Amino acid sequence: MRVITFNANGIRSAARKGFYTWLARQRADFVCIQETKAQESQLGEAMYCPRPFHCYYHDAERKGYSGVALYSRCKPDKVVMGLDWPEFDAEGRWIEVQVGRLSVVSLYLPSGSSGAHRQAVKFRVMERLMEHLRRLRRRRREYIICGDWNIAHKEIDLKNWRGNRKNSGFLPEERAWMDELFGPAGFVDAFRVVDPRPEQYTWWSNRGRAREKNVGWRIDYQVITPGLRDRVLRARIYKDRFFSDHAPLIMDYDWPTSPHVAPGLDG
């Protein structure tokens, strides 16, 4: 089973740069997209619901802002749009599809880089989201929560970690929250299960030739429940072409693609 997560920084912009042509060759089972920056009514062309996927969009109320999408090769048993939190859902930040015993989520965690107000919003979302994630762990389901989490967890996850310790995305409080996510809350960083190497980044600033120099951050994750840890096969960050300031994260799992043939749960 192949799962791709990608922050498009504008889905129409990514389309113009060849994202959908590339996607057609990837044999993905699920595609999670963040920061669509479009209303679904603006995406009338067929490319925005590519075959053979069932395609779902959760738009922000504000035009040209945020928004997430999720494409599923299997028709889901259930689709969950948002989390019934007005502040969060108004910005279009969560879609979940349930296929058999597996849930796949496209998540776009807020950024706090634009100022103290948005950092306060980010902290509120983080606090409430952790409560929700802990509830998910008590369900008899496996989860793959894909997306732009807007936090680099460890020093290995960004190039200039010393200079960013007071900046949003690498604040001590944010890193401690990730420690909790991958510690007491019981989730797993799927990428690090198979790739422990440094300098594996998914986002680069558009300034200072950062991408050319690989001065980046790893802020795009596939966060999984423990029952999937031993089913992670491989991970790849696609960097041959640039569709956005983020790179697609491609991960393969040993999990049946048919919803009617699901392994037993481990946790």
Q: Which residues are catalytic?
A: 148
Query: 136: part of which helix (H) or strand (E)?
Result: helix 116-137
Beta-bridged to residue 144, according to DSSP, are 104, 224
CB 247 within 8 A of CB 205: no
What 3-state DSSP class applies to 12? helix
What 3-state DSSP class applies to 20? helix
- Secondary structure (DSSP) of 44-93: -SGGGS-TT-EEEEE--SSTTS--EEEEESSPPSEEEE--S-HHHHTT--
Q: Is 108 exposed, middle or buried (0-12, 13-18, 19+ CB in 10 A)?
A: buried
Unique residue bearing structure tokens 């420690």: 179
- Cα(85)–Cα(15) distance, rounded to whole angstroms? 30
Q: For residue 186, give the nearest of 101, 121, 266, 252 by alpha carbon.
A: 266
Please give the angle made by the CA atoms of 203, 244 and 169, to the nearest 5 degrees: 30
CB 253 within 8 A of CB 191: no
DSSP secondary structure letter of residue 264: P
- Cα(204)–Cα(180) distance, rounded to whole angstroms? 26
